[in-house]
Every structure is written in structure tokens, then in C-alpha cells.
A and B are shown apart, each in its own frame.
Chain A
């Protein structure tokens, strides 16, 4: 009874996580510019992988006693995803990648950057 319940919960978590990872990758392909494309992988994919790792914790805890190794991977991913997203966004700003957002009205910096570029 308990084993069936644990298996069902594990299956649900794994499927949910894989669906979220797929949604993140679809966002990576379909969104129009780099600054919007950053949203898909850094949020949806991280959440999906976290869900898969939660399912793994449940699965192995039910069979071999409490196993919390996967928490390490989850913690590491949740700590590093924002850092790498920040660095990629800064690199994109530095290279003047095409952005959909209009520049702010009252910003000298943007005016200077755009006049430099032309």
C-alpha cells in the first residue's frame, strides 16, 4: 500500500519535473530576444530539475532508508542558476544585443550608448 503510494508520488513528481524542463526549453527556442529567453531556462528548468530530484529523494528514501544526497544537487542548482543568468545578462548588455524593450526616456547613459553605436 505504502509502496504503491510512494511510487505514484514519485511518478507524479518526475513527470511534473520533466514537463517543466520541456517548458523551459520551449521558452528558450520560442521567445524573441536574449533578455526574455533568459527567463525560460533559469526559472522553469531549475524548478523542473528540482522536482525530479525531489522524486529521486522520495524513491531512494523508500528503498534504502533516508537518503538526502540529492539535496546537495538541488541546493547547488538553486544557488548557481541566478548567478549564471546574471552573468549572461551582463555579457548580453555589454555586447549590445538586440532587445525588445525601448530605452528609458530620461536616461543619459542610454542616449550616450546609442549615439556611440551609430
Chain B
């Protein structure tokens, strides 16, 4: 039962990733694209955690933590670049 649930959840997250990618490619403004990238990062972290559950190994959370960390930093850098025209002033 749990395997089926994990498979279903992976399917739902895959659809969510495709919707994010659509917004990433067709977003009318740069801020829309940044928001879509941020959501992509978070959903990818969730997908990695689900994969860890499905093969039963508990050390996939570190990858999820790394992805979340890099996603936050890159979102901040991109938004800062749009705001100020520079990242490190």
C-alpha cells in the first residue's frame, strides 16, 4: 500500500514539476521565472525525500537539505540582482 502511495505522490509531484517548468519557460516577467525556479527547487527536494522513502534509505534527506539551501541562495541572488543590478555591492 505504501509503495502505491509513494508512486501516486511521485506522479502528482511530476505533474507539479511540469507546471512549474511551463511557468519557467513562458513567464511574462523575470520575477515569474524566478518564482517558478524557486518552486522547482522545493518540489525537487520533496521528490528526493520520496525516493528515499521508496528505496528505504534514510540518508537522502541530506541531498534534500542541500537542494533547499542552494535554491534559497540562488533565489536570493537573482531577486537581489533584479532589485539592485548587482549581487555583491
Contacts and interface: CB of A to CB of B under 8 A. Distances in A.
Interface residues of B, number: 50
Interface in B31-50: 31-32, 34-36, 38-39, 42-43, 45-46, 49-50
B6 A77 contact: no
A14 B50 contact: yes
Contact of B61 (A25, A56, A87): A56
Contacts of B6: 11, 14
Interface string B2-32: 1011101110110111011011000011111
A91 interface: yes
Interface in A46-105: 46, 48-49, 52-53, 55-56, 59-60, 63-64, 67, 69-70, 72-73, 76-77, 80-81, 83-84, 87-88, 90-92, 94-95, 97-98
B23 A14 contact: no
A25 B58 contact: no
B46 A17 contact: yes
B76 interface: yes
Interface residues of A, number: 53
Nearest to A23: B16
A52 B9 contact: yes
A48 B43 CA distance: 9
Interface of B: 1-2, 4-6, 8-10, 12-13, 15-17, 19-20, 22-23, 28-32, 34-36, 38-39, 42-43, 45-46, 49-50, 52-53, 56, 58, 61-62, 64-65, 68-69, 72, 75-76, 79-80, 82-83
20 contacts: A10-B5, A11-B2, A15-B8, A18-B50, A25-B15, A25-B16, A28-B23, A29-B22, A34-B32, A49-B45, A52-B50, A59-B53, A70-B49, A72-B65, A77-B68, A80-B68, A80-B72, A84-B75, A84-B79, A91-B31
